[in-house]
Amino acid sequence: MKTRRYGMVIDLDRCTGCGGCMVACAAENNVPPSSPRATVRTGLTPMRVQPVSNGAAGAARREVFMPLMCMQCEHETPCVSVCPQQAVEVDKATGIVTQMPQRCLGCRYCMTACPYHARYFNWQDPEWPAGMEHSLNPGVATRMRGVVEKCNLCHARLHSAEDKAAARKTSEIDPGDYVPACVASCPTNAILFGDLADPGSAVAQAAKSPQSFRLLEKLGTEPKVHYRSNRPWVRALADGRPGATQEVQRG
Amino acid sequence: MASVAVPDRQWIARGVERTSASRFATLLAPWFLLLAFGLYSAYLCLRYGLNQTNMDNRFPFGLWIFLDLAIIALGAGAFFTGFLVYILKMKELKPVLNTAVVVGFICYSGAVGILGIDVGQPLRSWFTFWHPNTHSMLTEVCFCITCYLVVLLLEYIPVLLRNRQLRRVPSFLIFEHRFHMLVPVLAGVGTLLSFFHQGSLGGLYGVLRGRPFAFREGFAIWPSTFFLFILSAIAAGPSFLLLISSLVEKITARRLVDTAVLRRLGFISGILTAVYVVAKSVDTLEWLNVTSPALGFAPWEHYAYKPFGTWLMLAEIVLFGLVPAGMLLHPKTASRRGWLIAGAGLVCCGILLNRFTMTIQTLALPTLAFDEFLSYVPSWQEVASFGAVIAYGVIVYSVSYRYLPLFPREKKEVNHVSGR
Amino acid sequence: MFPGVDGFHWSFGHVLFLGLFFAITLTICGTVVRAIWSSVRDFRTRRASAICWDLEFAELPDEERRCRHELAGRVAERTCPNGFDCRNCSEYEKFACLKAVAPGGTFGLDYPAGRLYHRGHTWVEAQSDGTWTIGLDDLADHLIGMPDKVDLPKPGETIDANGTAWRVRKGRNEMRVRAPMDGTVVETGGPETGWYLRVRPDGMPNLRHLLRGPEVSAWLSRELERLQIQLGTAGAGPSLADGGILMKGLIDAMPEADWDDALAATFLES
């Protein structure tokens, strides 16, 4: 199988902030319901839609909704080098930053290292109300308390795409077979997903557009999740002064 | 062999005075209560998970990590005094060596205890050894601190075996004697381990590319914080020893350590603090003008959030760095106990402040344009758990002081500091 | 951690890191193993007793380490640098030829002239068959009175000079009586017999370190002075300075006195 670099280009001009991607992600990845003690900052949201405003008041106020997840950093991936027991690595074949919850000690050093706040800790034992266990996705292992998790580009779906390719006796997976849950659920098709290493793919071409940007490029992490917008103030969010815009936390 | 219990007095060395056993128990009782309460808090965290703390996804490190780093830095007196006595042959520091070993043991065992509840899955701690990531500073910290805790335990054993009753067992006495001859080897190993882990604790923050407040360039794989943390630890270690020795003297109303020894400790601490101030100032200037702007952050942006203003940086370098260095080195003040203690206290506060800013301020600061500056207040479970460490330290040291010959001068002359 | 385990890389950094770790671990283990091995060897070669005595002697306060020649008035002031082992003392001859100045008399205590006395308050006496009897001297006997329990070594066991000869328990005090000479135990006695052990030494024993003649009286005088100070806090009974004589069974008579210190100093325990 050829080496791929799976990435995304998220069109912020299309995102309506409906949050469907968050729900789809939680369903696909067996994210447990929040406990009553959970707060906005202890919730588990591998996909998180953040409302961001331009900081102006009254009629000049503008808002954008930014879906945030693991940026799948390619260069000197901050979380990979800091994990004390190699529970995080960049998969060479796909470019996906994988996380092994079974090996995770729960030291949370990777969470300190991630500038995108893309990593989430299981602050409590997962509990599913009676009967809900029937809705769990059998392809995704549940995690225990005390480990870190994050978006892994729906790795289970990649595996099933690979299984299908193997059944067809081909080595290349059909791009249509591997669609992460958030991408599939988006009603406006705001998230474009694919192989950035394939110059012909839609996502690779969208990433090259001048309206595309990545967050915190100056850090040199080379994230594979791109955003695009026609609005200059949105593009300025990429490297904007931290804390520059007022924002309301979405619970 | 005696089948009747040896009375308490015979566990205490000849020629020294100690309070009665019942009064000792009474004095320690509140510390045992604190220890029990703290252990209960720790149990809650282990039983119910880390939601018992106020840490969250934006503050993955909190009070425990900050205090762990602080007590490890303060406990650096153990290895550094050992290094000075056994490797550099500074025999005049021998009187505080036993205290240094006990304090070091307390600090490291307490820190490791807290780390055991701080991680989400403590039973997986051995994974770091089995699958080490040699790129990670935390792996280095893990390996070194484990080895060093073993070294400290081994250094504590001869001190324990000098107990009056334990000495009467010939095999203990012979073993202590033979082992004591090899302590310089342990001191050397301890020095090597400590340099590395004190540094790596600084490296923990210095490599965080995603946190421009903490990120530093450096030498090879080691950011400048690696060296700064070593420097600040060896500066604070002797100061902390000075403080503890003086505190013990005050509580026991005895002169246990010659003023000359305290002056020497103060002098060493003063010199190292002065070097640290210079190094830290150079590093800060480099960071403000070169490193941070390269990552997209204008120099003073980091200090734009109340209450973490520039006063923090100035306090760390001037109030808790330059000032105590002056106090500990200036001839007029360096010869007086009061000034030495004040200077040492300020140095130790500097350590606390430095570890605080690196842990808490780093995490509080926003990294993305739409981040907020956040605050975090530890929960009572976190505070109480750390209270257990303090109580544990007081109990271990008190029991060691009572039953072990920690201060050689005491046996030579029994005299009183105040007229008590 | 080891080749073959997931995550092991044959990279310079990885190998260097683990190499250092294993080297350090081996060094640490090495020190412990070495210390244990040296200790075991000390016991096997029967040097343990002598080493223990040297270490304990070093912990005794200066007043309890006065050279016998100072006690005997041959020299003004001298702390013994040798663990009371005059057999190996280079200065012994120099002092021994000087005249002893002693108060004379044994303060009402029984110190027969034919016996030699150890600083730990035991005596030895040669028997005709080549064995030597060892007993507790009269001062110690007066202090202890009738012991509650005596732990004697068995016949066939060896005792080393300055090591433990036997243990005595009285009340809450357990004392370790030091052996005055080396030898193999042939027979044991007890408080009733007036002697405690009969030993056979290896060949002709060197007993130069034991006190004899006028030294005994000088030594006793110092010991009684010391006891007076140590027990005097209880403030009981007439003191020797008043011409009083030491009474038997002093522990029973003065239970409230600080016997811990007094007995430790008497039996040379640090």
Chain A residues whose CB is inside 8 A of the B59 CB are 41
Q: Is A92 on the interface with B (CB under 8 A)?
A: no
Domain count, chain A: 1
Q: Which of C212, C239, C227 is nearest to C116 (CA)?
A: C212
CB atoms A123 and B50 under 8 Å: yes
In this structure, the dihedral spanned by the alpha carbons of residues B372, B373, B378 and B379, taken in order and rounded to 10 degrees, is: -30
Torsion of CA A194, A195, A196, A200, to 10 degrees: -90
Of the pLDDT bands very low, low, confident and very high (cuts 50, 70, 90), residue C244 is low
Closest residue to A112, CB basis, from B50, B60, B369 = B60
Nearest CA in chain C to A89: C7
Do the beta carbons of residue C187 and residue C220 sit within 8 Å? no
At residue B415, the pLDDT reads 38
pLDDT beyond 50 at B418: no
Taking the Cβ of residue C243 and every Cβ of chain A, the question of whether any pair is shorter than 8 Å is answered with no
Given this model, what pLDDT does residue A244 score? 66
Q: Tell whether C7 lies on the interface with A, counting CB pairs under 8 A.
A: yes
Determine whether the interchain pair B175/C36 forms a contact, defined as Cβ–Cβ distance below 8 Å: yes
C13 touches chain A (CB under 8 A): no
pLDDT tens for B363-401 read 999 888 888 888 899 999 999 999 999 999 999 999 999
Q: Does the pLDDT value for residue B354 go beyond 90?
A: yes
What is the pairing mode between strands C173-178 and C164-170?
antiparallel
Q: Is A239 in contact with B296 (Cβ distance < 8 A)?
A: yes
* pLDDT per residue as tens digits for the range B55-111: 999 999 999 999 999 999 999 999 999 999 999 999 999 999 999 999 999 999 999
For the segment B43-59, the average pLDDT, to the nearest whole number, is 95
Domain annotation covers residue A18: yes
Categorize the per-residue pLDDT at A91 as very low, low, confident or very high, splitting at 50, 70 and 90.
Answer: very high
Split at pLDDT 50, 70, 90, the class of A250 is very low
Residue C234 has pLDDT above 80, yes or no: no
A-chain residues near B297 (CB < 8 A) = 241-242
Overall average pLDDT of the C140-164 stretch: 93
Cα separations in angstroms, C163 against B171, B373, B402, C166: 13, 72, 28, 9
- Decide if pLDDT at C200 tops 60: yes
Q: Is residue B134 less than 8 Å (CB to CB) from chain A?
A: no
Cα–chain center distance at B294:
34
Buried b / exposed e across C127-144, counting CB within 10 Å, b at 16+? Answer: eeeebbbbbbbbbbbbbb
CATH of the domain at A44: 3.30.70.20
Chains that touch C (3 or more CB pairs under 8 A): A, B
Best residue in C46, C172, C256 to probe B by mutation, most B CBs within 10 Å? C172
pLDDT in tens, B74-86: 999 999 999 999 9
Among B45, B50, B57, B204, the strongest candidate for a mutation testing the A interface, having the largest count of A CBs within 10 A, is B57
- What is the nearest CA distance from A85 to chain C, expressed in angstroms? 8
Show which subunits contact A, needing at least 3 CB pairs below 8 angstroms. Answer: B, C
* Closest approach of A110 to chain B, Cα-based (Å): 9
Nearest residue to C29 via CA among B128, B151, B172: B151
Chain A contact for B217 (CB, 8 A cutoff)? no
pLDDT over 90 at B338, yes or no:
yes
Chain-chain contact of A86 with B132 (C-beta, under 8 angstroms): yes
Q: What is the pLDDT of residue C172?
A: 87
Contacts of B264 (CB under 8 A, 6+ apart): B90, B92, B93
* Chain-chain contact of A112 with B362 (C-beta, under 8 angstroms): yes
Q: How far apart are CA B295 and CA A218, in angstroms?
A: 5
CA atoms within 13 A on the CB side of B294: 10
Give pLDDT, residue B380. Answer: 97
pLDDT(B3) > 70: no
* The model scores a pTM over 0.90: yes
Contacts of B57 in chain A (CB under 8 A): 41-43, 111, 117, 119-121
pLDDT at residue A71 in the model: 97
Please say if the pLDDT value at position A245 is more than 50: yes
State mean pLDDT over B269-290. 95
Are C39 and B10 in contact (CB < 8 Å)? no
Percent of chain C surpassing pLDDT 90: 61
Cβ-Cβ contacts under 8 Å for C128 (sequence gap 6 or more): none
| Mean per-residue pLDDT of chain A | 92
Structure tokens given for C212: 């004899």
A246 domain residue, yes or no? no
Joined tokens for residue B73: 């830095």
Task: Convert the pLDDT of each residue in B203-220 to its tens digit.
Answer: 999 999 989 899 999 998
| Top-confidence residue, A187 or C260 | A187
pLDDT of residue B4: 60
Q: Is the pLDDT of residue B137 over 90?
A: yes
Are the beta carbons of B369 and A86 separated by less than 8 Å?
no
Q: How far is C129 from chain B (nearest CA, A)?
A: 32
Q: Which residue of B has its CA nearest to C13?
A: B134
As a whole number of angstroms, the distance between CA B314 and CA B398 comes to 37
Model pLDDT, residue C243: 55
Nearest to A115 among B56, B118, B210 (CB): B210
* pLDDT higher than 50, residue A248: no
Q: Which residues of C touch A86 (CB under 8 A)?
A: 6-7
Helix B380-403, helix B224-252: angle, nearest 10: 60
Is 50 exceeded by the pLDDT of residue B2?
A: no
Interface test with chain B among C52, C149, C260, by most B beta carbons within 10 Å = C52
Residue B252, min C-alpha distance to chain A (Å): 41
Residue B419 has pLDDT above 60, yes or no: no
Which residues on B lie below 8 Å from A245 (Cβ)?
369-370
Count CB pairs under 8 A between chains A and C: 3
Q: What is the pLDDT of residues B181-193, one digit of tens each?
A: 999 999 999 999 9
What is the rounded average pLDDT of the residues B28-41? Answer: 98
Domain-embedded: residue A250? no
Label residue B420 by pLDDT band (50, 70, 90): very low
- Interface contact flag, B186 C28, Cβ < 8 Å: yes
> Of chain B residues 149-208, which have a CB less than 8 A from chain C?
150-151, 154, 164, 167-168, 170-171, 173-175, 177-179, 181-182, 185-186, 189, 192-193
Residue A178: CB atoms within 10 A of its CB come to: 25
Residue C7's pLDDT band (boundaries 50, 70, 90)? confident
Given a contact cutoff of 8 angstroms between Cβ atoms, the answer to whether A224 and A6 are in contact is: yes
Query: Which of the two residues, A27 and B413, has the higher pLDDT score?
Result: A27
Give tens-digit pLDDT for C48-83.
999 999 999 998 988 899 999 999 888 889 999 999
Q: Are C262 and C227 in contact (CB under 8 A)?
A: yes
pLDDT digits (tens, 9 = 90+) for C122-150: 999 999 999 999 999 999 999 999 999 99
Instruction: Convert the pLDDT of each residue in A147-181 to its tens digit.
Output: 999 999 999 999 999 999 999 999 889 889 999 99
Between residues 63 and 92 of chain A, which touch chain C (CB distance below 8 Å)?
85-86
List domains and CATH numbers for chain B: 26-412 (1.20.1630.10)
Q: Point out the residue among C7, C42, C172 whose CB comes nearest to the CB of B131.
A: C7
pLDDT for C257 beyond 90: no
Question: Which of 1.10.10.10, 1.20.1740.10, 2.40.50.100, 2.60.40.1240 is the CATH number of C51-266?
Answer: 2.40.50.100
Yes or no, beta carbons of B174 and C39 under 8 Å apart? yes
Chain C closest CA to B137's CA: distance in Å?
Answer: 12
Query: What radius of gyration, in Å, describes the C-alpha atoms of chain B?
Result: 22
Return the domain boundaries, chain C. Answer: 9-45, 51-266
Residue A241 placed within a domain: no
Task: Check CB contact under 8 Å for C32 and B154.
Answer: yes
pLDDT of residue C246: 76
Long-range contact pairs involving B299-304 (C-beta distance under 8 Å, separation at least 24): B301/A241, B301/A242, B302/B212, B302/B213, B302/B365
Sheet holding A212-213, edge to edge: A191-195, A6-11, A225-228, A212-213
For residues B52 and C269, give the distance between their C-alpha atoms in angstroms, rounded to a whole number: 54
> At B346, is the pLDDT very low, low, confident or very high (cuts 50, 70, 90)?
very high
Q: What is the pLDDT of residue B417?
A: 32
For residue A135, the enclosing domain spans 6-235
